[in-house]
Structure 1
Amino acid sequence: MMNIFESFLAAKLFRIASPLKKFNPNFDEIRIVSNFNRRPGDPRCGLVMYSGCFVVGAETVVLPFSIAFSGRNGRSTSSLAQFSYFDARLDVRILAFLSVLDFLEATGELPLGSLAAHTNRIVSKRPGCRKEICDSYPEFCERAAKDLPYDMSLEVLGAAA
């Protein structure tokens, strides 16, 4: 069974993949398979790559992703170019990228402020539609939280309030 952080990541990535209003994945049948790769002997920016996918039921693998990090000023830093996701559309890639970063920050794999720093990098390089997508991320998270089972949804939405 997935913990609340994994379930929320799943809810976000499933919502991106299927933006139907009444979409309601069965979280009892979903599990995450993931892998953390760290740089040996460097506690400051040890995360080099995080990858994963979700398994639905017994065998169906969906929503594969991976994100690579470089060390910059003692912090793990990534970019859209270092993020792989099964859907290449810009809006989808940005929302998935932010969702994975949000997960890594929430679980303590990245320091607090990492999501904001990466969001600023996305927007500063090419504003316009990228800024609109990044600005819509909090509302997207709220909608995805409502896809979670009721108790988890309340916990996620309560933490956001």
Structure 2
Amino acid sequence: MNIFESFLAAKLFRLSMPMQNFQPDFNRIWMVSSVNRSIPADQKSDIVMYSGCFMVGANTSLSPFSISFSLRNGLRKASLSQFAYHDGRPEIRIRAFLSVLDFLESTGELPLGTVAEHKARISGPSRSRQEACDGYHDFCQRAAKDLPYELSLEALRLAA
């Protein structure tokens, strides 16, 4: 896995441990993902849906997710209602949602500022949503430290 995939895995695993006593060996984990676009794949177009999961070996899939986007004011936007994740706890869903958006922003699928914009949109008047959004940066710092040392240093730089 590249650093972006590894960092996403670390975040999603930290949010809701996928298996009891799970100690991730990032050398044995790989990501399976799919991008759907608004026009055929041979032409670069806007993302419509992104989904994926992580595999341990050949038979165990962990932390499945899916997010879809709608075009609003010329930009691709998502909402929590358009996000599927295996853990339904509100704080976990919000941080998983932001983690997937962060991954897509870091890999160039979404424009810079997407995470900040979505954080502002979803936090709203709800205190628990606001706390989940406000704590996202610290959460990323902690998740980066779950990676092997070299990857951890690079992920900490990305999370800064």
Other-structure match for 2:71: 71
Computed over aligned residues only, the root mean square deviation of the Cα atoms, in angstroms, reads 2.0
Query: CA offsets per residue over residues 11-46 of structure 1, 9 Å max, x none?
Result: 000001129xx97410011000000000017x8971
The reply on whether 1:61 has 2:84 as its aligned counterpart is no
Aligned to 1:84: 84
Matches within 5 A, 1:1-40: 2-18=1-17, 24-40=23-39
SS where residue 27 of structure 1 aligns? coil
The TM-score with structure 1 as length reference comes to: 0.91
Code of the aligned partner of 1:114: T
Contact 1:16 1:96 in 2 (8 A): yes
2-structure distance, mates of 1:25, 1:159: 20
Distance 1:24 1:148 in 2: 11
Task: Give the equivalent residue in structure 1 for 2:126.
Answer: 127
Q: Deviations over 1:104-149 (max 9, x none)?
A: 000000000000010011112x421100011010010000000111
Worse overlay, 46-55 or 23-32: 23-32
**Amino acid across the alignment from 1:127:** S
**Residues in 1 aligned to 2:49 and 2:24: alpha-carbon distance in whole angstroms:** 27
- Give secondary structure in 2 for the equivalent of 1:18: coil
Counterpart-to-counterpart distance in 2, 1:157 and 1:87 = 25
How far apart are the structure 1 equivalents of 2:150 and 2:16? 23
Identity of aligned residues (%): 60
Partner of 1:140: 139
Structure 1: where are the runs of 5+ without partners? none
Contact 2:39 2:45 in 1 (8 A): no
Structure-2 residue corresponding to 1:48: 48
- Aligned residue type for 1:158: R
| SS of the residue 1:148 aligns to | coil
Mark the runs of 5 or more structure 2 residues left unpaired by the alignment: none
Equivalent pairs, count: 156
Q: What's the offset of the Cα at 1:74? A: 1.1
Q: Partner letter of residue 155 of structure 1?
A: E
**How far is 1:73 from its partner?**
1.1
Distance 2:45 2:70 in 1: 8
Task: Tell me the TM-score normalized by structure 2.
Answer: 0.91
Which amino acid in the other structure matches residue 82 of structure 1? Answer: Q
